[in-house]
Amino acid sequence: MLSCLHYIVARATWTLVLAISIYSIAVLLMTSSMIQREVLFLSRLQAWWLDLNNPEQFGFARNQVTPFNFTTPDNETLYAWHIMPLGLYARYKSALCQKPTGFVDDITHSLPFRLLIDNPDSRLIINFHGNAGDVGQGWRTDSYRALTDSTSNIHILTVDYRGFGLSTGVPSEKGVIIDAITTIKWAIDVAKIPTSRIVILGHSLGTAVATAAVEHYAQQGVDFAGTVLVAPFSNMENVFSTYTIAGLIPVLSPLALHPAAQKWLLSGLTGQWASDERIASLVRLSKRLRLFIIHSMNDCTIPWHHSNSLFAAAANATVEGGMEMDLLLKMKARSTINIGNGFTSIWKAESDKIITQKVVEYGHHSRILTYAPVVLAVRGAFGIDVDETFP
């Protein structure tokens, strides 16, 4: 009996030592900028067996999705999808079904593009996805279908950043932001969509991308119909402190017991992704703002308290000189309502700026993209629905 117990203890001890050793090696590897980039972007993690140029295999109607490319100022080629709303598609189904399917060299000659730009009621979501994979991976395609239902005239433009999917290049913070700015510029200059009919939607890493791009345009005096951030994080230092790969593998959170070691590792991050600072800048620069921050309580990848930090940064920026956090939290509490499975907080500034935080009980990290709160936020940003029950 004792020998068996000793064997079990020894086996458990060696297993623990091995686990700690593997984790320590992995943490040391994180000091490499190349490893950091791979962990952050996971751009190589793709379903290679799926053909992005055949969107029908993802459940779309024939030619509902048009794959195409455009070029960034630094000569990277970005791969994108234009997704038509299903109701509009149904009205032109016969003509669309007669066209060849797949990638098009010049989208401006396509029928879906003409249907987008010729209709003054067309609205456009510009979607910036999270890390890992491409425009057709995971819950992303389901979210496109949820947003382009048969009752709206909402189109989607979704793009793969450099180094993702069929786009060229290698991702970096600066490069990916260039990609986002270029995508929006394409919608404005080529598709000729007024910014008042554009909503910028970002998920996970895409929330940092979206925030940086919208701040860039705010610096030029350009406002959009709305900005929707789903499962966001406040900045890279905070997200690496809490981030778990696929919700299972912690990155630096085990080092919380050793603050000095964690601080040393965080000081070597090659990208900052300071969304909290950028969102405050965006709020100050905007003339009109409709900002939605959405998170789920059961998000194991990016904890929902990150959305609290972003909401606080945005709300504080509406007050000249800012305010003490205790006062901000008291004012937030007055405009927060319990929605049964979460809460909604709405912050209204006198300068036509509205910041909404919605935290729901369910949705995890990626599935929430397909849930009603995201669809309702987009519709609210476009002014399709107005909630008159809560001022």
Domain ranges of the chain: 2-30, 39-381
Sheet hosting strand 65-71, strand order edge to edge: 65-71, 77-83, 154-160, 123-128, 198-203, 226-230, 289-296, 353-360, 342-349, 336-338
Place of tokens 């490499």: 32
d(CA 247, CA 133): 16
Strands (E), 91-188: 123-128, 154-160
* Residue 71 bridge partners (DSSP): 77
Q: What is the pLDDT of residue 270?
A: 60
Strands (E), the chain: 65-71, 77-83, 123-128, 154-160, 198-203, 226-230, 244-245, 249-250, 289-296, 336-338, 342-349, 353-360
Q: What is the pLDDT of residue 340?
A: 83
Strand pairing category for 289-296 and 353-360: parallel
d(CA 273, CA 131): 13
User: Which parts of the chain register pLDDT below 70?
Assistant: 1-39, 150, 239-271, 385-391
SS3 337: strand
Query: Which two tokens mark 263?
Result: 């601080």
Q: Give yes or no for a contact between 125 and 378, defined as CB atoms under 8 angstroms apart.
A: yes
The CATH code belonging to domain 39-381 is 3.40.50.1820
What letter would DSSP give residue 60? P
pTM for this predicted structure:
0.87
Residue 364 CB neighbour total at 10 angstroms: 17
* Residue 356 bridge partners (DSSP): 292, 346
Q: What is the pLDDT of residue 391?
A: 45
